A = this chain, B = another copy of it.
Amino acid sequence: MFPRRLRGPVTIIAMNHFADRLLEAVEKKGAAVCVGIDPVYQRLPAAVRGAQTSAVDAIGVWGRGILKAIAPHTPVVKFQSACFERYHQQGVACLNDLMRHATDAGLIVILDAKRADIGVTSEHYAAAALEVADAVTVNPYMGPDSLQPFVDLAAAQGKGVFVLVRTSNPGGDRLQSLRLEGGHTLAEEAAAMTAELGAEHVGSRGYSLVGAVVGATKPTDMAALRRKMPRQIFLMPGVGAQGGAAEDIEAALDEHDGGVLVSASRSVIYPAGAIEAKDWAGHVGRAAEAFCHQIAAIG
Contact = CB atoms under 8 A, between A and B. Distances in A.
Interface string A243-271: 00000000000000000000000000000
Contacts of A190: 175
Q: What size tier do the contact residues of chain A reach?
A: 35 or more
Contact of A96 (B88, B115, B116, B124): B88
Contacts of A189: 175, 178
A116 B114 contact: yes
Interface centre among A38, A121, A146 (most CB of B within 10 A): A121
A88 B92 contact: yes
Interface in A225-244: none
Given A85-B92, A88-B96, A142-B167, 18 more contacts: A80-B121, A82-B128, A86-B128, A88-B93, A88-B128, A89-B89, A91-B128, A118-B169, A140-B175, A141-B141, A141-B175, A142-B169, A143-B176, A146-B169, A146-B171, A174-B193, A175-B186, A180-B180
The 3 closest A-B pairs by CB, nearest first: A143-B171, A145-B171, A82-B124
Interface of A: 38, 80, 82-83, 85-93, 96, 112, 114-119, 121-122, 124-125, 127-128, 131, 139-146, 164, 167, 169-176, 178-181, 183, 186, 189-190, 193
